[in-house]
A and B are shown apart, each in its own frame.
Chain A
Amino acid sequence: MSEEQRCDDVAPVNGDGGAIISRIQDWGFQKIVPVNAAIEITQRCNIRCLHCYNFDRDEPQVREDACATTPELSTAEILQVMADLRAAGCLFLMLTGGEILSHADLFTFMDRARELNFSLQLLTNGTMLKPGVAARIAAYENLQGVSVSVYGATAPVHDGVTQMPGSWRRTWDGIKRLKHLGVVVRVKFIIMRQNAHEVGAMQAMATEMGLPYSIDMNITPRHDGSRGSLQTRIELDQLETLYRGPLSRLVSKKARSAPEAVACNCARGNVAITSTGNVQPCISVPWVAGNIREQAFAEIWKTSPVFERIRGFKLADYKKCAPCEHRAYCRYDRSSAYNTTGDYTNPDPFTCATAELTHRLADEHAAGETPTEERLFNVRRVANAR
């Protein structure tokens, strides 16, 4: 159940559904059909996470809608781009924020997603999932799942990240409500400096509640250019402790071969629309391919030079990555690359250090020197979390 999240992740399915999902993802990649889309319906949020990638929420906001220079998309504009995405072949739609439940018209968007036969996923911080709201969400037949971000196993740690006392309790109350109503809830654990010591406990909580979860350690500079978020990024020695302990499954147990290519599904099977209408390869990569207020989505998708460039990248274009001895163990995280270096093909040094660490630990395994699990995490082992 535990793995680092990919942008084209969809909620778990039964039986051989995984193979069919892989097939449509491959089809989207090969045919350049945006089968996965994220729409950021607002950047407004009721919490002020230290690591937020949108903008520095501790600084005074220039506008009420949180966008300093451009108004956020209207409800009509969001409804239109939903129709445009569907016409372009999108099946898996994620609504994200900010906090989606801070948008007054969230349920108008969900109604439209149902009418358009989207498989719908929501990403929320969970704090606004009051009983009536949770029941209303659970009634959508096309709802594939709800991902809820969690930043700690205890209230002080989680609330320290959100800067909102009581948020940990409200988030877990919301998770439990949705689960009780039969909604597939995936806990998205954001791992950072502040909560690294609670990773094992976080995994245990999810497992005990029967909740699938993902591990996300990808903290980047913010899209407003500020870099304070990096103060929350996990330290390399913390990461090594996790890789030798509760996250040991993320380390290969045998030598790997470097892939022939490093292309991901972004700008091929994945696309994102920001709250101001920018069209991006991924919600985490603010490399703007166009804006739906200036061009129709389909035109941007088909003709944008940015997208054409991303689709055309070859391994050799990743000049530092191509010859790297740690390439087989690298996550090729393009959001860290772009947000840190300003260059999609130029790796973030932290990503490189992570690959080197993962390679070293894999070599230890291969040499029969099983890395020692350091008992920094005073929780029971999670037996069935893959």
Chain B
Amino acid sequence: MIDNDAAMTSWHREPTLPFQRMDEETIVVDPRTREVHLLNETAARIWDLLEEPASLDQLCEELAEEYEGATPEALRGEVEGFLKDLGGKGLLVARGRA
């Protein structure tokens, strides 16, 4: 899903999942699996951004503007890993092509 089409896929968070920001971190509860996830500062920011659908490229560009010295290219691996991880856990939804 991610590999070649990653930049074209639109992601957003699963809209019904309970979550709460705790200062820099975010806790996400998944009642379906009885699992609780703790997102670090960067992941929590991506979670915030994914309130609205966004592609990998859009996320990287947005984050690069927020983090001093970061470039979209440098962020790509971490952001893609995050999408893959949380997408695999059902916390994010991938929709069609951006």
Q: Interface on A for B, CB 8 Å cutoff? A: 11-15, 17, 20-21, 23-24, 27, 31, 35, 89-91, 114, 117-120, 141-145, 184
Give B7-18 as 1s and 0s: 1 = Cβ < 8 Å from A's Cβ atoms.
000000010111
Closest partner residue, chain B, to A117 (CB atom): B18
Taking CB atoms, residues of chain A closer than 8 Å to B31 are 11, 119, 141-145, 184
Compute how far the CA of A17 lies from the CA of B20 in the bound complex, rounded to whole angstroms.
14
User: Is A91 within 8 A of B33, CB to CB?
Assistant: no
Taking CB atoms, residues of chain B closer than 8 Å to A20 are 27, 36-38
User: Is A13 within 8 A of B16, CB to CB?
Assistant: no
A20-B38, A141-B17, A144-B29 known; 5 new pairs, CB 8 Å cut-off, are A17-B36, A91-B19, A119-B18, A143-B31, A145-B31
Compute how far the CA of A144 lies from the CA of B16 in the bound complex, rounded to whole angstroms.
12
Closest partner residue, chain A, to B14 (CB atom): A141
Identify which of B16, B19, B20, B37 gathers the most chain A CB atoms within 10 Å of its CB.
B20
Taking CB atoms, residues of chain A closer than 8 Å to B29 are 13, 91, 119, 144
Give B24-68 as 1s and 0s: 1 = Cβ < 8 Å from A's Cβ atoms.
000101011111111000000000000000000000000000000
B74 within 8 A of A: no
Q: How many residues of B contact A (CB 8 A)?
A: 18
Taking CB atoms, residues of chain B closer than 8 Å to A91 are 18-20, 27, 29
Taking CB atoms, residues of chain B closer than 8 Å to A114 are 16
B22 within 8 A of A: yes
Assuming the contacts A142-B16, A144-B29, asked whether A13 and B22 have C-beta atoms less than 8 A apart, the reply is: no
List 9 A-B residue pairs with CB atoms under 8 Å apart, sorted by A's residue number: A11-B31, A13-B36, A17-B34, A24-B22, A27-B23, A91-B18, A142-B16, A144-B18, A184-B34
Taking CB atoms, residues of chain A closer than 8 Å to B35 are 13-15, 17
Taking CB atoms, residues of chain B closer than 8 Å to A143 are 31
Taking CB atoms, residues of chain A closer than 8 Å to B36 are 13, 15, 17, 20-21
Taking CB atoms, residues of chain B closer than 8 Å to A90 are 20
Assuming the contacts A24-B27, A144-B29, A144-B31, asked whether A117 and B19 have C-beta atoms less than 8 A apart, the reply is: yes
Closest partner residue, chain B, to A141 (CB atom): B16
User: Is A35 within 8 A of B18, CB to CB?
Assistant: no
B29 CB, min distance to chain A CBs, angstroms: 5
User: Is A142 within 8 A of B18, CB to CB?
Assistant: yes
Taking CB atoms, residues of chain A closer than 8 Å to B37 are 20
User: Is B33 within 8 A of A14, CB to CB?
Assistant: yes
Compute how far the CA of A164 lies from the CA of B28 in the bound complex, rounded to whole angstroms.
41
Assuming the contacts A14-B35, A17-B34, asked whether A27 and B22 have C-beta atoms less than 8 A apart, the reply is: yes
Compute how far the CA of A24 lies from the CA of B37 in the bound complex, rounded to whole angstroms.
11
Taking CB atoms, residues of chain B closer than 8 Å to A144 are 18, 29, 31
Compute how far the CA of A188 lies from the CA of B65 in the bound complex, rounded to whole angstroms.
51
Taking CB atoms, residues of chain B closer than 8 Å to A12 are 34
Taking CB atoms, residues of chain B closer than 8 Å to A142 are 16-18, 31
Taking CB atoms, residues of chain A closer than 8 Å to B34 are 11-14, 17, 184
Taking CB atoms, residues of chain B closer than 8 Å to A119 are 18, 29, 31
Compute how far the CA of A27 lies from the CA of B17 in the bound complex, rounded to whole angstroms.
20
Assuming the contacts A20-B27, A91-B29, A141-B32, asked whether A118 and B38 have C-beta atoms less than 8 A apart, the reply is: no
User: Is B38 within 8 A of A23, CB to CB?
Assistant: yes
A135 CB, min distance to chain B CBs, angstroms: 16
